[in-house]
């Protein structure tokens, strides 16, 4: 076991030592004795600090010390060192819309379970999941309708780099396995740069893409005409995606794809709630809120639910941007998707060198500790000192009286006046 911040443990030890010292340095009433001539002793508050010869309340002392040490250890953040192995593995599993069969991804991942320290499941968003729960996670994804989210190797690489920082202490080197169809839409401008941050070899495991599974039908299906639903025309309560706005307002523009329509649209509807993975925003109002959804239907069909009405008055219908806007609304389902496999030169550079990534080349995880903790500890120490000061002040009445007596004694010595 090691400590991320052993200084806290040292501080707790020092505080415990101080508590032990203070425990034996007790303020107590002095020992009581008889004296017949006690009436000649000045009457001042009696309190004295003395070192207890016979230790008392040892159990209390033990509890106090253990409490302080526990707090110190908590701040010090003890770390149980994981079982060290020569090579460990991180698996990235692609569950985006480009993946033809999630079960194939799960089967491929199962072949790389040995030595896995982290697993990352990604589509457009990457998630660091527990390696022991990877199979369950993939099974759950396979049981749902296919995702419409585009895969992003860049976001997956970022999450993987973080996971590598977390697990770097458990191995000498790390093997990164990426299970993906590796299609063109999963690459973006940052992918190459992020790949360069991984200091070793990446093992790509190809799975079938949707195009491979459909035998080219997927591309054709993406050309199928979408069905447009105008929410204003539907019977009330017949649409699960939209709910009526409490107070309709007017928005000046709406954008669908690259087409923008400027017109004082009356906005009556708002999204009903969180949409599932089969629904994506197709058009947005000028303020960014959804104006139309595209929902994947059975097979390769889709339905576009539009929450506004086209202008029926004025010359808006004659403008070119209106025509372009209508064409975009009635465009085939899905956006233009690059489902072609990534080129071989990219894959070569993606695989990188033959050597695995040494953990020494991976940045350790930057610990983010709230800056309040050291302040709290300092405040606790300060309060302990203040507590001592307050105890002295409360016992200071006796000190003030003693000072007065000292002055009186000096005065008597000086003047020789008898009491």
Partner 1 sequence: MPLEANDSVLLDSVRSIRWPARRKSPAGMAGNHLSKVLGVSAEFTEYRAYRPGDDTNRIDWKLLARSDRAYIKLSNDRTVLSTMLLVDASGSLAYPAATLEKWHFARQVTIGLASASYGGADPVGMLVATTEGPRRLPPRTRRGVVQDIAHVLSGITPGGSPELAPLLPMLRSAGRVAIISDFLGDAEATLKMAGQLAAMGREVHAVHIVHGNELNPPRRTTLLTDPENADLKRPMTDVTRRLYLHNFDDWREQMAREWRMAGAYYTQVDSTDTVANAVRRIVTPQGTDGARR
Instruction: Enumerate binding residues for partner 1 (CB under 8 A).
Output: 29-46, 48, 50, 398, 402, 405-406, 408-409, 412, 418-419
Indicate left, alpha or beta for 216 from its phi (over 0: left) and psi (-120 to 50: alpha): left
Q: Which CB, 287 or 408, lies closer to partner 1?
A: 408
Output Rg (C-alpha) for the chain, integer angstroms. 37
Yes or no: say if 227 and 304 are a contact pair by the CB < 8 Å rule: yes
Do residues 253 and 285 touch, judged by C-beta distance below 8 A? yes
Smallest separation, CB 66 to partner 1 (Å): 34
CA atoms of 242 and 305, how far apart (whole Å): 9
Q: How far apart are the first and last CA of the chain?
A: 72
80: its two tokens:
């149980």
Phi and psi for 145 in degrees, rounded to 5? -60, 155
Angle between helix 372-394 and 6-24 (nearest 10):
10
Number of Cβ within 10 Å of residue 98's Cβ equals 28
Alpha-carbon span 234 to 339, nearest angstrom: 35
Rounded Cα distance between 363 and 357, Å, is 12
Three-state secondary structure call for residue 85: strand
Question: Which residue number, 40 or 344, has a Cβ lying nearer to partner 1?
Answer: 40
Q: How many CB atoms lie within 10 A of CB 54?
A: 5
Task: Give the chain's length.
Answer: 419
Q: List, in order, residues 6 or more apart from 221 with CB less than 8 Å away.
A: 214, 299, 300, 333
Q: Among 164, 147, 144, 168, which Cα is nearest to 156's?
A: 164
What is the closest distance, in whole angstroms, from the C-beta atom of residue 30 to partner 1 in the complex?
A: 5
Measured torsion, CA atoms of residues 15, 21, 27, 28, in degrees rounded to the nearest 10: 130
Residue 195: how many other CB atoms lie within 10 Å: 18
Distances (CA, A) of 67 to 7, 12, 63, 70, 385: 17, 9, 6, 5, 18
Nearest distance, CB of residue 71 and partner 1, angstroms:
36
């Amino acid at each position: 076991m090691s400590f991320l911040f052993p200084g806290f443990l040292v501080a707790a030890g020092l505080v415990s030592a101080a508590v032990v010292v203070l425990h034996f340095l007790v303020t107590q009433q002095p020992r009581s004795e008889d004296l017949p001539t006690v009436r000649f002793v000045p009457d001042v508050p009696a309190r004295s600090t003395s070192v207890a010869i016979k230790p008392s309340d040892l159990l209390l002392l033990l509890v106090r010390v253990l409490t302080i040490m526990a707090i110190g250890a908590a701040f010090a953040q003890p770390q149980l060192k994981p079982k060290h192995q020569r090579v460990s593995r991180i698996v990235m599993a692609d569950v985006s819309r480009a993946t033809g069969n999630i079960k194939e991804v799960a089967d491929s991942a199962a072949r790389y379970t040995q030595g896995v320290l982290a697993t990352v499941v990604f589509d457009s968003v990457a998630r660091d999941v527990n390696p022991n729960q990877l199979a369950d996670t993939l099974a759950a994804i396979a049981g749902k309708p296919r995702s419409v989210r585009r895969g992003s190797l860049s976001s997956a690489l970022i999450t993987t780099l973080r996971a590598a920082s977390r697990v770097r202490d458990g191995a000498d080197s790390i093997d990164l396995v990426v299970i993906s169809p590796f299609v063109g839409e999963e690459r973006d401008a940052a992918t190459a740069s992020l790949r360069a941050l991984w200091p070793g070899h990446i093992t790509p495991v190809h799975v079938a893409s949707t195009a491979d599974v459909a035998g080219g039908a997927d591309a054709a299906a993406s050309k199928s005409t979408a069905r447009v639903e105008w929410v204003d025309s539907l019977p009330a309560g017949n649409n699960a995606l939209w709910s009526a706005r409490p107070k309709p307002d007017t928005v000046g523009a709406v954008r669908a794809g690259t087409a923008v329509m400027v017109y004082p649209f009356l906005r009556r509807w708002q999204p009903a709630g969180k949409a599932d993975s089969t629904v994506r925003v197709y058009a947005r109002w000028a303020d960014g809120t959804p104006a139309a959804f595209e929902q994947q239907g059975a097979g390769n069909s889709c339905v576009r639910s539009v929450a506004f009405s086209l202008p029926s008055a004025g010359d808006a219908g004659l403008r070119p941007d209106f025509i372009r806007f209508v064409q975009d609304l009635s465009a085939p389902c899905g956006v233009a998707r690059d489902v072609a496999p990534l080129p071989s030169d990219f894959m070569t550079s993606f695989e990188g060198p033959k050597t695995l990534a040494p953990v020494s080349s991976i940045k350790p995880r930057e610990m983010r500790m709230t800056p309040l903790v050291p302040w709290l500890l300092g405040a606790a120490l300060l309060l302990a000192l203040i507590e001592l000061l307050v105890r002295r002040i409360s016992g200071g009445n006796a000190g003030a009286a003693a000072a007065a007596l000292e002055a009186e004694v000096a005065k008597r010595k000086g003047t020789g006046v008898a009491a």
